[in-house]
Amino acid sequence: MADAPRILVIRRRYLGDIVLLGSVFRNLRLHWPDAQIALLAERNYASIGLLHPDVNRVRAFPAKLSEWPRFIRELRGTRFTHVLDFDNTDKTALVTRLTGAPVRVNYQRELIPCKHRWVYTGSAVVSNDFYRTHHITETYLKLLGPAGVPVTSREVRLTPSADDVAVAQRFAGGPRRAAPGQRPRVLVHPGSRSRFRIWPAERFAAVCDQLQDELDAQIFLIAGPGERAVARDIRDHAQAHVVLMEEPFTTGQFAAFIAQFDLMLCHDSGPMHIAAGVGTKVVALFGSQNAAIWRPVGDHHTILQTELPCTCLPDTPTPCVRDDSYRSYCVRKLSVETVFSAVAQTLGKHD
């Protein structure tokens, strides 16, 4: 329809953050079924938007300064009616203003003042207490208020393409979800953006051994280019037969591959949110990151986290504190037995 809203959602990065915008896209689509919804993200993260079934188009920020004039002309030519800026940066404020959209909204975090308030026609104020005690999707959904969109869903759903599913099933050895009585299929993703969030490789290997010995599980390992050394270390420590996937998957193929498993064991990470989005159960190992904010969406997941603050001697001379996930080791306090039991219970194999 010619008069259907044309909506630009801006979130530059990261993997998990853009996955969790799914509830925003879902509510926009429910409120405006004919809307044209576009995501604008940095080039390395834009492809995540293709997994959101409610997104019509994905755009990437220009990589070169010379590309900006054409980029701005195209944005203005789209004649967006609404812009939702989830970043509040100088760059995104400039883009928001240059779109010419009549409705331009952002959110203001308490203690983090918005430098460009004049750019926006409305803002959602988020108190520090609200931010720290609610899931990040609740913070995102607050932005819909100034845009005049009611919140009627909290669903985050990712849908890989049929082609991506076909590729994934070929590498996984068939479709997901073993029938009752068949071997469970477990995917281990040991990577993280922060090395301080990483559980030791030998413990991952010990869990793999127990899963195969006690549950007859099929174990796969997957890791990105910067994480493969950790994955190989796990494979080399394990007595179990572990399949290490080193294929250069696209984002869509990666999501489709995760969807072929009954459960994924991982850290607090972007792939954790992809797993939840495609309907795969998750056991997530959290360090000091606030799990109330960043836990996977859904009811069938398990979070393991050391009570904070903790003392992780001898790994570090100071206590770990909440929200300091780039300088803490408290994930190392989680034992092999604790993690194995959580995986077994989440699979539904143990009481």
Choosing from 113, 142, 171, the residue where a domain stops is: 142
Domain membership of residue 147 (yes or no) is no
27's tokens: 């509510």
Q: How far apart, in Å, are the Cα atoms of 143 and each of 46, 88, 105, 122, 151? A: 21, 12, 7, 9, 10
Residues 285, 215, single domain; the answer is yes
Domain count within the chain? 2
Residues 67, 12, single domain; the answer is yes
Q: Is the dihedral of CA 130, 135, 136, 140 positive or negative?
A: negative
State the pairing for strand pair 281-286/263-267: parallel
Residues 166, 119, single domain; the answer is no
Question: Counting beta carbons within 10 angstroms of the beta carbon of residue 90, is it exposed (0 to 12), middle (13 to 18) or buried (19 or more)?
Answer: exposed
Peptide bond into 326 cis (omega under 30): no
Residues 305, 179, single domain; the answer is yes
Domain that holds residue 263: 162-347
Residues 319, 198, single domain; the answer is yes
Q: What is the pLDDT of residue 228?
A: 85
For residue 220, what is the domain's CATH number?
3.40.50.2000
Domain membership of residue 151 (yes or no) is no
Q: What is the pLDDT of residue 350?
A: 44
* 3-state helix/strand/coil string of 133-167: HCCHHHHHHHCCCCCCCCCCCCCCCCCCCHHHHHH
Residues 181, 120, single domain; the answer is no
Q: What is the pLDDT of residue 76?
A: 96
Residues 134, 172, single domain; the answer is no
Q: What is the full DSSP assignment across 24-48?
A: HHHHHHHH-TT-EEEEEE-TTTGGG
Domain membership of residue 17 (yes or no) is yes
Residues 317, 261, single domain; the answer is yes
Residues 286, 342, single domain; the answer is yes
Q: What is the pLDDT along the chain (351 residues), one digit of tens a residue?
A: 558 999 999 999 999 999 999 999 999 999 999 999 999 999 999 999 999 999 999 999 999 999 999 999 999 999 999 999 999 899 999 999 999 999 999 988 877 777 788 999 999 999 989 999 999 999 999 999 999 999 999 999 999 999 999 999 999 988 866 566 678 999 999 987 666 678 999 999 999 999 999 999 999 999 888 888 889 999 999 999 999 998 889 999 999 999 999 999 999 999 999 999 999 999 999 987 889 999 999 989 999 998 766 655 445 556 565 555 455 567 888 999 999 999 999 998 543
Q: What is the pLDDT of residue 351?
A: 37
Q: What is the pLDDT of residue 303?
A: 96
Residue 221 has φ and ψ, to the nearest 5°, of -115, 140
Domain membership of residue 284 (yes or no) is yes
Q: What is the pTM of this model?
A: 0.91
Domain membership of residue 149 (yes or no) is no
Residues 170, 285, single domain; the answer is yes
* 3-state helix/strand/coil string of 168-191: HHHHHCCCCCCCCCCCCEEEEECC
Domain membership of residue 157 (yes or no) is no
Choosing from 110, 142, 174, the residue where a domain stops is: 142
Residues 85, 168, single domain; the answer is no
Residues 133, 222, single domain; the answer is no
